[in-house]
Structure 1
Amino acid sequence: MGDAAQDLDAKGGALDTAKDLFAGAAGGIAQVLIGQPFDIVKVRLQTSTAYTSALDAATTIYAKEGPLAFYKGTLTPLLGIGACVSIQFGAFGFARRYFENANLSSSSRSKDLSYGQYYAAGAFAGVANSVISGPIEHVRIRLQAQPHGANRLYTGPLDCVRKLGAAHNGSILRGLYRGEAVTIIREATAYGAWFLAFEYLMNADVSRNKLRSRAEVPAYKVALYGGLAGEALWLASYPFDVVKSKMQTDGFGAQTKYKSMRDCFGQVWRAEGARGFWKGIGPTLLRAMPVSAGTFAVVEATMRAIS
C-alpha cells in the first residue's frame, strides 16, 4: 500500500512538472515576442555611449537600421527563451512541491510556503535556468550590440558561436559560458524576487477577496500582478545584469577589457559610480511590465486550461 501511494505521488509529481514545463514554454514565446524591441534598446544603452537616452537609442536604431533591427538576434531567444521559461516554471514548481511536502512533515502540518521559501524556490529556478540562459543571452547580446551594415561582426547566431569558440582556443563551451558566474547570481536574485512578488500578490488577492482558490483571480489581475513582479525582478537584479552585458560584449585576447566579474564591477564603479549600474533601467522597467504580465497571463491561462 505504501509503495503504491509513493508510485502515485511520483506520477502525480511528474505530471505536474510536465504541465509546468509546457505552460512555461508558452509563456516564454509570448515573452520574446513582446519584449525583444525593448531588450535591444536596453543592451545598446548598457554597452554603448552613443545614445543620450532610451528614446534617442530607439529613434536612432529605427532611422539607421530600420524597424526589423528591433528584432535582431530574435531567432536565438525565440528558440531558447521558450526553453528557459519552461525550465523556470518547471523548476519553481518542483521546488515549491518539495517545500510543501517538507512543511507537511513538520509540526505545523501545513503545506503553505513561507515567503522565504517562495524566494528560495524562485532562486532555485533561476540557477537551473542559468545553464541555458547564459549562452543564449550571450549570443543574443553580441548580435544586438554589433555594428550595422558592412561592419557586422557576425552573420548570425551560428557564426557568433563559431567565433566565440575560436576566440577561446577552439572551446565553444568556454566561449559561450563567458560571464556565467554573474549570470548565475543575476538569475537567482531576479527569479527569487519575481516568483516571490507574484505569489505574494496572488495570495493577498485570494485572502482579501475570500476566494476559494487562485483560479478565481480574474485574468486582468493575473496580468497586473505579473507585470508588477517583472518590475521587482529588475529592481532586484539590474546591477548584475549590467555587469553581465558588459562582460558578454567584451573583446577577446589583447582587446579584453574585463578580467573578471569583480574587475568589471570595479571598473564600472570607478568610471561611472553608482549610476553606471543603472544605465538603461528606464526602458527595462518599461519593457518588464508588458513582458512579465504577458508571461504570467499566458502561463496561468495554460495551466487552467490543462488542469
Structure 2
Amino acid sequence: MATTEVQNTAAKPSQNPVKGRSAAKESIEDIIYGSVAGIVGKYIEYPFDTVKVRLQSQPDHLPLRYTGPLDCFRQSIKADGFLGLYRGISAPLFGAAAETSSLFFFERIGREVVYASGYLSQDRVLPLSALWFTGAFAGAFTSFVLTPIELVKCKIQVPTSKDGAPPKTPSVMSVIRDVYKHEGVRGFWHGQMGTFLRESGGCAAWFGSKETTTKMFHLLNEKSATSQMEKDLLATEALPLWQQAVAGASAGMSYNFLFFPADTVKSRMQTAPVGGSRQNKSFWQEGKALWNQHGLRGFYRGCGITVLRSAPSSAFIFMVFDGLKRYLPM
C-alpha cells in the first residue's frame, strides 16, 4: 500500500491541489506571479512576434514584401534598427501580464470547477485529461481579455498608410481613439473568434503538454531512484531546471503550432485599416479570402519563427511562475 502511494505521488503533474491555502491568496499569487512571468516571456519573444505579425498581414493583392522570416528581420532592422522590432511593446507588456495572470487564474478556477462537479474528490490529483480541459477553460475566458490588447498591438506593429503617404507608427492612445471613433466599443473585439479558437484550443495544448511532459519526467526520475527514501524525496521536489525548461518549451510549441491558422486570420483582421469605405470582414470571410489566394500555406505564414520563439519564452514563463509559487508563497 505504501509503495502504491509513492508511485501515485511521483507521477503527479505539477498542478496539485494545495491544502491549507485560501482562495484569495491563491488568486493573488496567480495574478502577481503570472504577470511577472508574462512580462519576462514577452521581452524574450516580442521581436519574433513583430516579424510574425508582419509576415501574416501581407496583403493578398500585392506581391509578398518578405520572402520569409530572415528577410523580414533584415528589412525591419534596416528600416528601423533593432529597437524597431520592439515597436509598440508597452501595450503587449500590459497584455502579457494580463494574459498570463488570467490564464493561471482561470486554469485554477477550472480545476475548482472539475472538483465541484464531483468528478473527483478534493484529495485526488486531476488526471491529464482533466488538465487539458482546464487549459481550454482558461483560454476561452482569457480570450475576451486579450482581444482588445492584441488589436492595439497589431495595429502598432503593422501601421497602415493613408493616401499613399509613408505609414507612421501610431501611439497606443491614437489607435484606441481611432478604433473607438469609427467602430465604437465593439470594434476592440474585432477578431474575437480567432482569439477564442486560438486560446481555447491552444491553451488546452499549452497546459496539457506541459503537464504531460512533467508527468513523464516524474516517472522517469522515479525509475532511476535506487531507494525508497530517494523516491519519497523526488515526489516532493521540483523537477531539475532543464526538465522544467523542456516541459515549458513543449507547451509553447504545441500551443503555437496546433492553432496557428486561427491566429493568422485574427492578425489579418486586426491589421486592416480602420474607417473609410472598407467593411470589416468576418473571421470566416477573412479565412476564405486567404485560402482562395494562398491555400493552406498562407495560414502557416510565419509559423516557423513563432514556434521557435515560443520555446524559450514559454519555458521561462513556467519556470518563473512555478518558482515563485514554490519559493515565495503568500
TM superposition score normalised by structure 1: 0.89
Q: 1:56 aligns with which of 42, 64, 71?
A: 71
CA contact (8 A) 1:96 1:121 kept: yes
Q: Given residue 239 of structure 2, which amino acid in structure 1 is its aligned partner?
A: V
Counterparts of 1:132-281 in structure 2, within 5 Å, are: 132-146=145-159, 151-153=166-168, 155-168=170-183, 171=184, 173-210=185-222, 212-213=234-235, 215-253=237-275, 255-256=277-278, 259-281=281-303
Shift of 1:203: 1.4
Output the CA distance in 2 between the equivalents of 1:15 and 1:280: 40
1:40 aligns to 2:55 (yes or no): no
Counterparts of 1:70-89 in structure 2, within 5 Å, are: 70-89=85-104
Shift of 1:257: 6.2
Q: Secondary structure at the match of 2:259?
A: helix
Q: Secondary structure at the match of 1:200?
A: helix
Instruction: Give 5+ residue unaligned stretches, structure 1.
Output: 1-8
Q: 2:138 aligns with which of 125, 134, 141?
A: 125
Q: Secondary structure at the match of 1:216?
A: coil
Shift of 1:285: 1.1
Partner of 1:6: none
Instruction: Give 5+ residue unaligned stretches, structure 2.
Output: 1-18, 59-63, 223-230
Partner of 2:61: none
Higher helix share: 1
Output the CA distance in 1 between the equivalents of 2:101 and 2:45: 17
Partner of 1:95: 110
Q: Secondary structure at the match of 2:266?
A: helix
Shift of 1:110: 6.3
Q: Given residue 186 of structure 1, which amino acid in structure 2 is its aligned partner?
A: R
Output the CA distance in 1 between the equivalents of 2:253 and 2:174: 34
Output the CA distance in 1 between the equivalents of 2:144 and 2:236: 31
Q: Given residue 30 of structure 2, which amino acid in structure 1 is its aligned partner?
A: D
Q: Which has the larger radius of gyration?
A: 2
Q: Percent of aligned positions with the same letter in both sequences?
A: 30
Post-superposition CA distance 1:268-304 (Å, at most 9, x none): 1111111111000111011111111111111111111
Partner of 2:311: 289
Shift of 1:179: 1.0
CA contact (8 A) 1:250 1:256 kept: no
Shift of 1:255: 4.8
TM superposition score normalised by structure 2: 0.83
Does 202-211 or 65-74 show the bigger shift?
202-211
Misfit runs of 4+, over 6 Å = none
In 2 relative to 1, CA 23–162 (structure 1 residues): closer, same or farther, beyond 3 Å? Answer: same
Q: Secondary structure at the match of 2:66?
A: coil
